[in-house]
Structure 1
Amino acid sequence: MSISGVLAGRTALLLRSADRASATIAALRERGARTALCQLIDFELPADTAELDAGLRRLLAGGFDWCVFTSVNTLTALALRAKAMGLELAVPSATRIAVVGEATARAVLKLGASVDFMPEADHSARGMLAEWDALRASPASVFMPQADIASATLRTGFAAHGWDAHIVVAYNTVAAPADPARALVSPAGAPATDLPPGGRRLHIDELAASLPDIDAVFFTSPSTVDRFLAVAPAPDAALDLIAIGDSTAARLRERGFTPAAVADLPTPAGMIAAWEAALAASGPGRPRPTRT
């Protein structure tokens, strides 16, 4: 629930691309807040896709009991490889699908497939292991394409339950911009780059100097924490550092910074609610900015 007026006049820094930030920019604008945007990380296909391609062919041939998608990026990577191989990305109806959260579920539905499992409370690898009853039934085969920097949480969980897990790197996380030849761009075309009203774009060279005009930074992954601190290693203590989840919060702490708040859900609404709650908890002594 929105805390009325607490964000008015404040500015949040988003460290992602325009297409991924548009929903957050619009929601912040509704609350009277402004947004600065500086994309620090990007995504690209691995240089060698042989293992990914083999897993994709097996998936499309019905060779797995389950397929796990932990991000929209994995679906984009599979769509790119399917197109390159002249195949249709259509998960067989007998293959069940598990996803980590709502954005990934929506991407699966766009493929014309259905979602058989999504954690209700904790939209993370940890939450999947805790809530996924099928894991505690008979062992099964599972295909999981993932990022090169993904944690071993699910891999360890599958092994503990005796599942035959085929886990492959679907995409690499790199400093922006990605190599155009391997950039993770939807086969439907390049994403929109125009910012909604209320947003302004910062070049990476402007980032450190612009921080005095920023009230909060939204971190959506551990890699954005690392990249941000590489560009701005000594952010002001007055900045509210908002983490999308526990792993991102843990990375901030590892780097010597305390998150002002951690989102309950890894969504734009969850991030914004976390910032609102942090400001409300700081009490009436927390002044609103006076800049224009």
Structure 2
Amino acid sequence: MTHDRALPSVIILRHPERSARIADALRAAGLRVFALPLTDTELPADVAAVAAELGALGRGAYEWLVVTSGNAVRALELVAASGPTSLPELVRAGGTRVAAVGSTTARLLADYDIEVHLVPRDASSAGLLGEFPHGTGAVLVPQGDLAPGDLQAGLAGRGWAVRRVEAYRTVPYPADAARRVPAIQEPGVQPPLLSRRDLAALAADAVHPAVVFTAPSTVRQFHEKLGSGPLAFFPVAIGRTTAAALRAQGWEPGATAAEPTPQGIARAVREAFSRAEPTYLHPHH
């Protein structure tokens, strides 16, 4: 690997196809950007359960569909596409209102011609619960296998009958090609793919790299695959949950992105580089 060592490096722990918008913002800030995917996304073993809930949604069984990630949108679309009715047609047929956590998820739903009725100002489960109405009908919540139960419990506390279904699984990279949930390729220039060996070389630079942790699952995979060191880096977390996962490993975030936008992440990376001390991982760690 060759690169311009005069510029600080940023490593996004995400596949290049899902990193282009963040990479554009970081390059605009004068940084070198690389992608190092540690996790991937697969359809669940029991796709029939998801298909059954989509069928119920199309028959009007659910008043709300609550979508918390782009992965959930893509997984639902894949499962629906294998049947007779598309995801937008099912939503319209059921007369279901749709809530999306995050502007990116809302845009993806809109790209599928699905009307979104609620996007909370705070792009988190807590933000959604703060704005979600009380009611007594049924709500469908398709999530990944690692999603916590706070959203399900919070909606139930507002009177709703909540059905959570596992729409996708987070697995170590790379996923099984036959089951992989492909991400929507973001507009922009994809950052180059980095190997773990290249990461060690970057960590030996005079200016240690920033590492952008995109979810708690990336923290776990990083610890399992690279946590024994030797590495020196500035950890950057997207969101409070990921920051908490870093602290659970004993890695204090150099900064936490207050919002999961490319500009918010770029601000957090610049903040991390302004701190005096990176995180050091030693072989005996």
Superposed pair shares fold, TM > 0.5: yes
1: distance between equivalents of 2:62 and 2:135?
A: 14
CA offsets 1:147-195 (integer angstroms, 9 cap, x no match): 0000111011122222111110000000010001101026xxx858x99
2: distance between equivalents of 1:195 and 1:96?
A: 32
Q: Is 1:99–2:100 an aligned residue pair?
A: yes
Displacement of 1:239 after TM fit? 1.9
The answer for unaligned runs of 5 or more in structure 2 is 1-5, 278-285
Displacement of 1:128 after TM fit? 1.1
The residue aligned with 1:148 is: 145
For 1:1-292, list aligned pairs within 5 A: 9-90=7-88, 91-92=91-92, 94-120=95-121, 122-132=122-132, 134=133, 137-185=134-182, 191=185, 196=189, 199-213=191-205, 214-234=208-228, 239-280=233-274, 282=275
SS of structure 2 residue aligned to 1:73:
helix
- Structure 2 length normalisation: TM-score? 0.86
Amino acid at match of 1:267: T
Number of equivalent positions: 267
SS of structure 1 residue aligned to 2:120:
coil
Displacement of 1:235 after TM fit? 5.2
1: distance between equivalents of 2:247 and 2:120?
A: 26
Displacement of 1:237 after TM fit? 7.9
2: distance between equivalents of 1:237 and 1:207?
A: 8
Amino acid at match of 2:151: L
2: distance between equivalents of 1:191 and 1:275?
A: 23
Asked if 2 retains the 8 angstrom alpha-carbon contact of 1:18 and 1:195, the reply is: no
Displacement of 1:38 after TM fit? 1.1
Q: Which moved more, 1:91-100 or 1:161-170?
A: 91-100
Displacement of 1:71 after TM fit? 0.4
The answer for unaligned runs of 5 or more in structure 1 is 1-7, 287-292
Amino acid at match of 2:165: V
Amino acid at match of 1:112: D
Q: Could you say if the C-alpha distance between residues 259 and 236 of structure 1 is closer, same or farther in structure 2, counting changes exceeding 3 Å? A: farther
Displacement of 1:131 after TM fit? 2.7
2: distance between equivalents of 1:237 and 1:262?
A: 20
SS of structure 1 residue aligned to 2:136:
coil
Q: Could you say if the C-alpha distance between residues 115 and 191 of structure 1 is closer, same or farther in structure 2, counting changes exceeding 3 Å? A: closer
Q: Could you say if the C-alpha distance between residues 110 and 195 of structure 1 is closer, same or farther in structure 2, counting changes exceeding 3 Å? A: closer
Amino acid at match of 1:13: I
Asked if 2 retains the 8 angstrom alpha-carbon contact of 1:61 and 1:92, the reply is: no
Amino acid at match of 2:108: A
Asked if 1 retains the 8 angstrom alpha-carbon contact of 2:139 and 2:163, the reply is: yes
CA offsets 1:186-209 (integer angstroms, 9 cap, x no match): 6xxx858x9937x33212454345
Amino acid at match of 2:80: A
1: distance between equivalents of 2:59 and 2:212?
A: 40
CA offsets 1:36-56 (integer angstroms, 9 cap, x no match): 211110000011112111111
Amino acid at match of 1:211: A
1: distance between equivalents of 2:199 and 2:188?
A: 18
SS of structure 1 residue aligned to 2:168:
strand
Q: Could you say if the C-alpha distance between residues 22 and 119 of structure 1 is closer, same or farther in structure 2, counting changes exceeding 3 Å? A: same
Amino acid at match of 1:277: E
SS of structure 1 residue aligned to 2:227:
coil
2: distance between equivalents of 1:175 and 1:232?
A: 13
CA offsets 1:8-43 (integer angstroms, 9 cap, x no match): 821100111111011111111111100121111000
